[in-house]
Amino acid sequence: MDIRLDRRTAIVTGGSAGIGKAIAQSFIQSGANVVIAARRQPNLKQAVSDIVSACATIPDCQSKIKAISADIRLAEDCAKVAAFAQEEFGGIDILVNNAGTSQRGDFLEVSDALWQEDLDLKLFAAIRLSRLVIPGMRTRQWGRIINVLNLGAKAPAGGSAPTAISRAAGMALMKVLSKENAAYNVLVNGLLVGRIESEQWERRHAADARQLSLEDWYAEAAVQLGISMGRFGTAQEFANIATFLASDAGSYINGTAINVDGGLCPVA
């Protein structure tokens, strides 16, 4: 099975931490050139350093990772990211729309401003970046777009606005693009995040007054949340699936939203 990305160029938004950074690292380890985009320059600098250290055995590793500070809520910054990747590495073969936050609250309390911010970051950024990279992918007859979503895109819960709605729209976008571009060998899929170890969960652990170890806290939370595997996933496990979809090994998977959730079955 060929899970290599040699001579491919990828853009990963939200690539300075967590899942995005893990995907960028996995892509480089599989041979790709990668541009990571995020807003905060110090975080980007640290991410590049971490990735270079992790990929030190790969020839020319340092030249394979580039970073750009951008606020992809803005149309002009989306264009800046695409132009930067083109200038650094040539044609863009892979786009991972990963940037996002988890804004949630009671529907009647969510302001217009919060709705707009969430949609700009999670939906319009994906629309704009996809529109920028698809023409080149069609010309080369090869491309991969992966929308990183969450489980709420399929099964939104009460109190999950606006994030579940923007993620559901991102899944619909994926479905539309998968059908319009399949004839050009441009495949578009979604990955739905379940419970993945992250700084967000570590902050919840730190706020727990019971002083459990992080390992014990994760194990207890996994049971309470109904994860059949009995544990949280890791960013690397999520990145493994993204790398498979981005490679030629995933050449017959299109228009699919894949749960990466360890068999999550919420406890009644």
Helices (H), 189-253: 199-207, 214-225, 235-246
Contact (Cβ atoms closer than 8 angstroms) between residue 166 and residue 122: yes
Residue 123 lies in a domain: yes
Same domain, 104 and 225: no
pLDDT at 267: 54
Which pLDDT tens digit goes with each residue over 100-139?
A: 888 888 999 999 999 999 999 999 999 999 999 999 999 9
pLDDT at 200: 83
Mean per-residue pLDDT of the chain: 95
> Looking at this protein, which amino acid is placed at residue 214?
L
Residue 33 lies in a domain: yes
pLDDT at 103: 83
Same domain, 131 and 168: yes
Residue 265 lies in a domain: no
Q: Which domain holds residue 205?
A: 197-232
Same domain, 104 and 33: yes
The answer to whether residue 211 scores a pLDDT higher than 90 is: no
Contact (Cβ atoms closer than 8 angstroms) between residue 179 and residue 2: no
Same domain, 163 and 36: yes
Residue 1 lies in a domain: no
pLDDT at 151: 93
Which pLDDT tens digit goes with each residue over 27-74?
A: 999 999 999 999 999 999 999 999 999 999 998 899 999 999 999 999
Residue 191 lies in a domain: yes
Instruction: Residue 85: give its domain's CATH number.
Output: 3.40.50.720
| Count of the separate structural domains present in the chain | 2
Nearest C-alpha neighbor of 259 from the set 158, 155, 162, 122: 155
**d(C-alpha 3, C-alpha 75), whole Å:** 33
Nearest C-alpha neighbor of 96 from the set 34, 159, 46, 42: 34
Position 266 confidence tier, pLDDT thresholds 50, 70, 90 = low
**d(C-alpha 111, C-alpha 21), whole Å:** 31
Same domain, 143 and 41: yes
Same domain, 119 and 37: yes
Which pLDDT tens digit goes with each residue over 90-103?
A: 999 999 999 988 88
Same domain, 133 and 228: no
Same domain, 241 and 111: yes
Residue 128 lies in a domain: yes
**d(C-alpha 264, C-alpha 155), whole Å:** 12
Same domain, 170 and 125: yes
Same domain, 181 and 49: yes
Residue 3 lies in a domain: no
Residue 266 lies in a domain: no
* Cβ neighbours of 57 (radius 10 Å): 7
Same domain, 151 and 206: no
Q: Provide CB contacts within 8 A for 174, sequence distance 6+.
A: 145, 147, 149, 188, 189, 190, 255, 257
Same domain, 222 and 136: no
Which pLDDT tens digit goes with each residue over 166-203?
A: 999 999 999 999 999 999 999 999 999 999 998 888 88
